Amino acid sequence: MRRMFALAVFLLVAAIGIGAMAQVTITIYADDTRTPLLRQVGADYTDATGVLIEVIEFPNSELRSQYITATQAQEGPDIVVGANDWVGELVANGLIEAMDIGARSGDFSSAALQAFSIGEALYALPYAVENIALIYDKDVVPVPPRTWDELLAIARSLYDPDTPMYGLVFENTSANFYQFFPMLSAAGGYIFGFDEDGEYDPCDVGVGNEGAIFGANLYKSMIDEGLIPIGVNGDTEQALIEGRNAAMFITGPWRLVNFQNADINYGITRIPAITGPDGAYNIPKVFAGYQGFFLSSFSENKTIAVDFLLNYIATPATMTALEEIGNRPTVFLPAVPSSPADLLAFGDQGAFSVPMPSIPEMASVWQEGGNAIDLINAGTAPSEAFGQAQQLILSAVGCP
């Protein structure tokens, strides 16, 4: 009796399994913002070709680790939506596949293609770029500062610890090396240099060089004066925006919703230029993060996946829609930008940006750079903090 019951269950399950196998399916992992759009485009693709597109939604913070875990267990999706700094780790682990888009590469900005390539191999189909910039309250600061001295003057005049009111705020906890980078880069700091082939040279680290320390000293003088609050994390920054506790923020498009919630008349411009030790007038560079669609190396339907990406995602309609819902400027050249004002304004700073290095050694940069910010916040001298960071990065990477 028990045996027949088990047999019946087995046959039923087997039938369902075989039935499910009959339909070709492409699985995509995406975050909550992009999933609805991808499902729509996927439905169009299914109508045209009969291939099912299944989009599985994950919270942004888990997308990368879920993809890695699932793909290693060979249960992963065919396509995943991610950022360009994933490339190094995923390629090192053999989890993504290079794609050949042939002549279509002319449709994308060369910086975007570069950000997703290692050597000649392109590892993702880019669709958007994001960078931080200076977002300011036009009612408090009608004319944004163009130089750092102007910014300091505004900050000093506005600073009031009781309200509290600050001139400038940006996230500066140990998890925010990304926001801190413009301070280092203005006078000449950089992350990794390039070798003769144009590849990142992990042994050429510029986090603790003269220019970087000059910028860090500038930061320290500001926090000593109290002009910038220390230890500001994401939640605190959102609270400060919505509470109108600061005139200017160095942050990215992800915070625009907070400005809109507080009905602030905001403007976006580039970060003021810092006069370097040699008197040169340098506009700080920020990290440019590119977003794209990766192809899994364990996918069994790579041809269909690439076909879907090239013919249904890489179209002006889809790219424009992605830009609208994601609030990030597109890197697809034939697309007509739809929310020009804000997104083009981020491009002011975007012209002064460097792609986030995607090699796995970047992990130690985030770690040690963050620690250095922590130490400076607690009182260590910037030259020691970033000098140590540079040494630790070199030793973690295994350089001489």
Partner 1 sequence: MDPRFTCTMRSQSVLGLTFKIVSLGIIDSIGIWGAVSLAFQSSYTLLTLLILGVGTLNVVILSKRAYPLRYLLPGLVFLAAMVVYPLLNTFYVSFTNLQTGNLLSKDTVLHLLDERYYLPEDSSVFDYSAFSDDADALALALTASDGKVWIYETEELREADRSDPALTFDDAGTVQGIEGYEIVEGIDRYQILSRLEALAIPRGDQYLRLSGINEFKAYRKQYTYLAETDQLLDRQTGLLYAPIDGKFTAEDGTQIEPGYQIWIGGENYSRVFGNAAIRRDFVRVFVWTILWSLFSVLFSFSLGLGLALLLNDRALRFRFFYRTLLLVPYVMPVFISALVWRGMFDVNFGIINRSFSDWFGITVPWLTHPTWAKATLVFINVWLSFPYMMLISLGALQSIPNQLYEAARVDGAGMWKRFHRITLPLLMISLAPLLIGSFAFAFNNFTLIWLVTSGRPAVFGAATPAGATDILISWTYRIAFQGGVGNQLGLASAISVLIFFMVGTISAIGFRLTRQLEEVYK
Which residues contribute to the site for partner 1 (CB under 8 A)? 1-2, 5-6, 9-10, 13-14, 17, 23-24, 48-51, 72, 74, 89, 91-95, 164, 174-175, 229-232, 235-236, 239-240, 297, 300-304, 306-307, 360-361, 363-364, 366-367, 370-372, 374-375, 377-378, 380, 384-385, 388, 392, 395-398
Write down the least CB distance from residue 394 to partner 1, Å: 10
Question: CA-CA distance, 285 to 89, in Å (whole number)?
Answer: 24
Write down the least CB distance from residue 273 to partner 1, Å: 28
* Closest listed residue to residue 70, CA positions, set 365, 294, 251: 294
Cβ neighbours of 75 (radius 10 Å): 10
DSSP state string for 180-199: HHHHHHTTT--SEEE-TTSS
Write down the least CB distance from residue 329 to partner 1, Å: 29
- Smaller CB distance to partner 1: residue 97 or 323? 97
Write down the least CB distance from residue 46 to partner 1, Å: 10
- Smaller CB distance to partner 1: residue 273 or 397? 397
In whole angstroms, how far apart are CA 366 and each of 177, 288, 350, 372, 393?
A: 6, 15, 21, 10, 10
- Smaller CB distance to partner 1: residue 233 or 339? 233
Q: How does DSSP classify residue 200?
A: E
Write down the least CB distance from residue 4 to partner 1, Å: 10
Q: How does DSSP classify residue 147?
A: B
What phi and psi values does residue 253 have, to the nearest 5 degrees? -60, -20
- Which runs of consecutive H residues, i.e. helices, occur in 50-175? 60-72, 87-92, 110-115, 148-158
- Smaller CB distance to partner 1: residue 146 or 302? 302
Taking the mean position of all CA atoms in its chain, how far away is CA 323? 15
Q: Which residues contact 299 (CB under 8 A, 6 or more apart)?
A: 76, 77, 78, 79, 97, 305
Write down the least CB distance from residue 47 to partner 1, Å: 10
Write down the least CB distance from residue 128 to partner 1, Å: 25
- Smaller CB distance to partner 1: residue 111 or 175? 175
- Smaller CB distance to partner 1: residue 59 or 398? 398
Whether 179 and 186 have beta carbons less than 8 Å apart is answered as no
- Smaller CB distance to partner 1: residue 158 or 306? 306
